[in-house]
């Protein structure tokens, strides 16, 4: 009996070792060789980089494109910084091979063999085809100016900074296969699915996360795909086909307009991370690709949350008329007075905005009508700046230096009650302080 137990114990240990080796062995890139400095290939790669919105994470507000250094706070752990992906040989990826580039892009493994943090959306980029991966490599090798810029070191302390356990996360949650065309769907639908699931990585923000911070679903076949999530203090809303909780009530043309301009009057205006995605990515994509994205998103199964009407279906115009002349905002506590002093010059006293919709209405507005006031607080704090190819620059000033946490909480609750969803969660001074600290 003792010999049998010893034998069984030996087999268990051997099995664990084999499993460990399999799990911890990084997937090799199927790509070999190099790519030519071909102008058409580089141009295609440039377009794909726009579709992937690479510049959003690999650039800072005042830095050079793709030179990295963007701080990404990891809750309760510290900060990581995006890498330099320019072709600089010392601080960038100038001496990376095609296979090394591809392994980082689609499988989350750096040139040195260390696992990348999943803040890099390689779980989505795994869907990218071999040909598109080659085009991206060509663009970053030949089409991007080299920038010599070192990146700050991560502040995540040991042992949380150890990278090899990430491979277990990869095995459990990160796909390794490129997008597979569904023959029962149209070419447009498949193109949209490829972009949404892969390059555009919409699920990174719009799909809720599980216990291990994994996206609960990676495509439309999984429950909760694109059902909404909270990321870095921003509410990325449900964009499934549910009429009330999602965007099922939007027409195809309204969704394409939103992606291209960031604005659909009396429905929604893009701000925060989505505003940046519109400015740097969606507004620069072809009409055909935007149409494909809209077609696919409208096909994602509806997921409801008990909402009785869409976010943009709330609100009535205000009839308040409060005198406020020569009074400093910082000494005002009444929210209606704060509104008239800080907001009404653009959004009008009644909240209906300007006739040409340049200043949007707060009535029938997805941000003001949301049940979670996070995005409204964020917009008041940080303002809004958005540029697209098809409209004038859009700008709203930030009030973080003009209004206190208590004033912003009071103003937020006034806006949601007066112009938006009266059943929305009440904002507190603590909520504003927390969101202010995330900048």
Q: pLDDT of 338-381, one tens digit each?
A: 999 999 999 999 999 999 999 999 999 999 999 999 999 999 99
Residue 14 has pLDDT above 70, yes or no: no
Q: What percent of the chain has pLDDT over 90?
A: 79
Q: How many residues does the chain have?
A: 439
Fold designation for 187-297: Cytochrome Bc1 Complex; Chain D, domain 2 (1.10.760)
Residue 6 has pLDDT above 80, yes or no: no
As a whole number of Å, the end-to-end CA separation of the chain is: 64
Residue 415: left (phi > 0), alpha (psi -120 to 50), or beta?
alpha
pLDDT at 167: 92
Does domain 315-437 fall into CATH 3.60.20.30? no
- The b-or-e profile of 244-257 (16+ CB within 10 A means b, else e) is bbbbbbbeeebbbb
In whole angstroms, what is the distance from residue 138 CA to residue 142 CA?
6
In whole angstroms, what is the distance from residue 140 CA to residue 50 CA?
12
To the nearest 10 degrees (0 to 180), the angle between helices 252-261 and 287-297 is 130
Per-residue confidence at 270, pLDDT binned at 50, 70, 90? very high
pLDDT at 318: 78
DSSP category for residue 72? E
pLDDT at 5: 35
Residue 125: left (phi > 0), alpha (psi -120 to 50), or beta?
alpha
**Range scoring the smallest mean pLDDT among 15-24, 159-168, 205-214:** 15-24
Q: Once rounded to an integer, what is the mean pLDDT over residues 215-236?
A: 96
Tell me what the pLDDT averaged over the chain comes to: 90
Query: Binding site membership: which residues?
Result: 54, 57-58, 202, 205-206, 343, 346-347
Q: Once rounded to an integer, what is the mean pLDDT over residues 48-68?
A: 96
Residue 49 has pLDDT above 70, yes or no: yes
Per-residue confidence at 253, pLDDT binned at 50, 70, 90? very high
Residue 192 has pLDDT above 50, yes or no: yes
Q: Where in the chain is the domain with CATH 1.10.760.10?
A: 315-437
Query: Binding site membership for heme c: which residues?
Result: 54, 57-58, 202, 205-206, 343, 346-347
Count other C-beta atoms under 10 Å from residue 58's C-beta. Answer: 22
3-state secondary structure of 410: helix
- The model's pTM is 0.90
3-state secondary structure of 359: coil
Q: Once rounded to an integer, what is the mean pLDDT over residues 70-92?
A: 93
Q: Once rounded to an integer, what is the mean pLDDT over residues 317-325?
A: 61
pLDDT at 392: 63
282 vs 170, 248, 353, CA distance in Å?
Answer: 28, 20, 26
């Amino acid at each position: 009996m003792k010999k049998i137990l010893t034998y069984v114990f030996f087999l268990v240990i051997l099995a664990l070792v084999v499993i460990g080796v399999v799990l911890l062995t990084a997937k090799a890139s199927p790509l070999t060789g190099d790519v030519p400095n071909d102008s058409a290939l580089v141009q295609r790669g440039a377009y794909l980089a726009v579709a992937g919105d690479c510049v959003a994470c690999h650039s800072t507000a005042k830095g050079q494109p793709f030179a990295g250094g963007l701080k990404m706070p990891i809750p309760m752990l510290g900060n990581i910084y995006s890498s330099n992906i320019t072709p600089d040989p010392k601080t960038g990826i100038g001496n990376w091979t095609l296979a090394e580039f591809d392994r980082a892009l689609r499988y989350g493994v750096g040139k040195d063999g260390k696992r990348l943090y999943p803040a890099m959306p390689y779980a989505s980029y795994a869907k990218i085809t071999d040909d598109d991966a080659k085009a991206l490599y060509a663009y970053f090798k030949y089409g991007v100016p080299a920038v010599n810029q070192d990146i700050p070191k991560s502040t995540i302390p040991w042992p949380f900074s150890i990278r090899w356990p990430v491979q277990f996360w990869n095995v459990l949650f990160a796909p390794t296969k490129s997008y597979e065309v569904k023959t029962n769907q149209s070419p447009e639908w498949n193109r949209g699915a490829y972009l949404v699931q892969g390059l555009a990585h919409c699920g990174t923000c719009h799909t809720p996360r599980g216990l291990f911070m994994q996206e609960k679903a990676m495509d439309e076949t999984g429950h909760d795909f694109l059902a909404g999530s909270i990321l870095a203090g921003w509410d990325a809303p449900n964009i499934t086909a549910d009429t009330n909780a999602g965007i099922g009530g939007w027409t195809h043309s309204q969704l394409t307009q939103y992606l291209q301009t960031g604005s659909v009057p009396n429905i929604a205006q893009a701000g925060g991370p989505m505003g940046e995605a519109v400015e740097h990515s969606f507004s620069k994509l072809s009409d055909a690709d935007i149409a494909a994205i809209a077609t696919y998103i409208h096909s994602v199964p509806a997921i409801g949350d008990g909402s009785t009407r869409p976010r943009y279906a709330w609100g009535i115009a205000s009839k308040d008329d409060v005198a406020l002349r020569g009074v400093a905002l910082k000494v005002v506590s009444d929210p209606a007075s704060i509104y008239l002093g800080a907001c009404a010059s653009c959004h009008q006293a009644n909240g209906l905005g300007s006739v040409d919709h340049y200043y949007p209405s707060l009535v029938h507005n997805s941000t003001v009508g949301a049940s979670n006031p996070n995005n409204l607080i964020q917009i008041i704090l940080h303002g809004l700046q958005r540029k697209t190819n098809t409209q004038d620059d859009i700008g709203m000033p930030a009030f973080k230096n003009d209004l206190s946490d208590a004033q912003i909480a009071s103003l937020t609750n006034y806006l949601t009650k007066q112009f938006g969803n009266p059943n929305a969660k009440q904002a507190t001074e603590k909520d504003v302080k927390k969101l202010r600290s995330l900048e």
